[in-house]
Every structure is written in structure tokens, then in C-alpha cells.
Chain A
Amino acid sequence: MPEKQSNVNWTILFLCWLLASLSTTGSLFFSSVMEFIPCVLCWYQRICLFPLVVILGTGLLSFDKNIVKYSLPLAVVGWLIALYHTLLYSGIIPESIQPCSQGVSCTEEYIDLFGFITIPMLSLLSFSTIIALLLILQRRMTK
């Protein structure tokens, strides 16, 4: 593969990793610094998000060509939960069927940036972008 092509691929993977890392630090900032208590759905998304930092990071070190195979499933699971959470949060799915009964409600509103950006939405956006970048990477590498 030409040097330039592989550089672009590395950069795409690097962006994926950067996004996962930024989301992780942001998520930790909300819980550890601002002391928002993560609800159950937030934890499920974190379970998918946090390992991505390590998996994508390890993949970057030796640029593993199989990286998409291992990171995409995690990202997709996280994306599904984020989608569900966003729908729940915005009231499209009624709250009565949500699984969190104890502790923090999954629809409790913590931040509201510019009037419409919420934490589940940030999560959904982050997972969507990671998935899109991974798919682009996969297509470029199989070409």
C-alpha cells in the first residue's frame, strides 16, 4: 500500500481513538468532577465506550489491519444503547418502560447545552461518528 494511503488510514483510526478518548474524559468529567451520578443506561454505554480507548489505542500502536473487526461490535452495541437512551430522554419512548427503577432516573436532565444538546445525545453522536469512521476505514482497507 502506498505510504500516503496508509497515512490516511492511520489518521482515520487516530481520529476514532481521539473521539473515544475525548468522550471518555468528558464522561469522567461529568461523573467525577461535576458529580453527576451516572444512571444504568449511562453505565451500559460506558461499558462499550471505555474499552474502545484501549482497543483502538493498541490497534494504533502497531496499526493492526483487523482493528475494525474488534472495535466495531463494541461501538455498535454502545450506539444502540445510546439511541435507546436518547429516544427515552426526549420522550419518544415513554419512561414507564425504562429499566432503571433504583438510584438515578435515566431521564433526569443534567446538562442542556444551547438548549438542545443532552448527555445521551453527545453519546449517540460520538458512537455514530466512531462507527462511520471505522466503516470508512474498513472500505479503504479492503479496496
Chain B
Amino acid sequence: MRNVFLAVASLALIFGFMFANSWYKERQAEKSSFMAKENASTFVRDHSQTLGSDDAKVYIVEFMDPACETCAAFAPFVKQMMAANPGKIKLVLRYAPFHDGADYFVTILEAAKKQGKYWETLDVMFKSQQYWASHQNPQPQRIWEFLPRAGLDMEQLKKDMTDPAIAEIIAQDIADAKTLNVHKTPGYFVNGRPLQEFGYRQLQELVQSEMKVAYQE
């Protein structure tokens, strides 16, 4: 009898936890989809770098960090999804530089943007990331060995990096990441709906479900 009581209490705790989990996530999703309607600028700022057609109805907002390995791993995956659905998906990149010293890499990226080499630079960064952003032995200065591959004017880049507007962009993005409860990178929102369970398949499913709604497939 006592052991039955114990088992029932254990099950109640487990189910209670699972229920609270889905309730909380649902509430977060509602909150952020409400914000996407009422306060869209939290997701997309004027300064935000975007990729894809302006007519696209599905917006993937990604909070990323150039020094984050998972962001590097997801970048080709997101581009594949965009290529598979031409003109229907727009990618918005936001910064969540959570790694130590990641502000520095964002500054490089923003300076490269002034030369129109944003995506090239990001690609070079992701591909060379293991050399300068290793967790055991970060060597941020080594990034300069790889940057010329993006076809950048290095003198101009160094000059542009001192622009105080870049720090404001980073501060704004960090503030928005906090508002949207992004604690990890990459943090995805698809048309304002957060990616609840992290993973490639989950992101693909979320994008597909939003595609269905937007294009009534």
C-alpha cells in the first residue's frame, strides 16, 4: 500500500513536471508570437543583416555568435532550406555574442558589411572558426590570418571597426535577445515562433509548418 502511494506520488511529480514544461513553452511561444505582431522591431531591426527576397513570407530570425560552433554548423543547413524554397524564406541575422570576446568578431563582421562583404566574411569566419575560437585555447588574433580570403580591404576594415555605431548595434541586439529570452546560440524564431526543441529536424519542421500557413500549401 505504502509503495503504491510512493509510486503514485512519483508519477504525479513526473507528469506535473511534463505538464509545467509544455505549459511554460506554450506560454513563451504565445508571448513571442504576440510580440512578433505588436512589436516586430524586436525581431528585425533596421541595422539587421538579411538574406533572401523581401517578398518572402517566412522570416527566420537567427540570434547568432560568430564564435559559436553550432551557429557555424547550422549556417549551411539554413542556406539549403532557403535554396530549396526559392523566394519564400528570408533570413535575418541578429547578434547574441555570448562567447567571451565575441563582440570583437561581431565588430569585424559589421565593419566588413560596410565593404559589402558581409556574407563572404561570415563564411570565412565559420570555416576558420576552429583556429581562433577553440574553447581550450582561444586565439582571437589569429582570425586576421583568414580574413583576407573574404576579399576585404584590410586597412579600411580596421578603420571601420572603430565606428561607435557598431557598439550600439551590438547593445541593441543583446537587449532584444534578452527580451526574447534567448540564452543560447543559435536562437531561432520563425515568423515570431521560437524553436522549442533544438535540432535540425525541429527547425525544418517549424519552417515547414510556417510555410504551410503562409503559402497555404
Given known contacts A14-B5, A21-B13, A29 and B183 CB-to-CB distance under 8 angstroms: no
Which residues of the partner chain A approach B24 to less than 8 Å between Cβ atoms?
29, 33-34
Q: Quick check: is B9 within 8 A (CB to CB) of the other chain? A: yes
Q: Which of A10, A22, A25, A37 is B183 in contact with, Cβ under 8 Å?
A: A37
Smallest CB-CB separation from A28: which chain B residue? B17
Smallest CB-CB separation from A57: which chain B residue? B6
Q: Quick check: is A35 within 8 A (CB to CB) of the other chain? A: yes
Question: For this complex, into which size category does the number of interface residues on chain A fall?
Answer: 10 to 19
Q: How far is the CB of A53 from chain B (nearest CB, A)?
A: 9
A21 to B10, CA, bound (A): 8
- Would A61 and B181 count as touching, CB distance under 8 A? no
Which residues of the partner chain B approach A32 to less than 8 Å between Cβ atoms?
21
Q: Is the interface of A mostly helix, strand, loop or mixed?
A: helix
Given known contacts A22-B13, A25-B13, A33 and B20 CB-to-CB distance under 8 angstroms: yes
Smallest CB-CB separation from B14: which chain A residue? A25
Q: Quick check: is A122 within 8 A (CB to CB) of the other chain? A: no
Which residues of the partner chain A approach B25 to less than 8 Å between Cβ atoms?
33
Q: Is the interface of B mostly helix, strand, loop or mixed?
A: helix
- Give the residue among B17, B21, B181 with the most A Cβ atoms within 10 A: B17
Which residues of the partner chain A approach B184 to less than 8 Å between Cβ atoms?
35
Which residues of the partner chain B approach A83 to less than 8 Å between Cβ atoms?
none
Q: Quick check: is A76 within 8 A (CB to CB) of the other chain? A: no
A21 to B14, CA, bound (A): 10
Interface residues of A (CB under 8 A from B): 10, 14, 17-18, 21-22, 25, 28-29, 32-35, 37, 57, 60-61, 63
A33-B24, A61-B3 are known; give 7 further A-B pairs, CB within 8 A: A25-B17, A29-B20, A29-B24, A32-B21, A33-B25, A61-B6, A63-B2
Cβ-closest 10 pairs across A and B: A35-B183, A25-B17, A33-B21, A33-B24, A21-B13, A25-B13, A60-B6, A29-B20, A10-B2, A61-B3
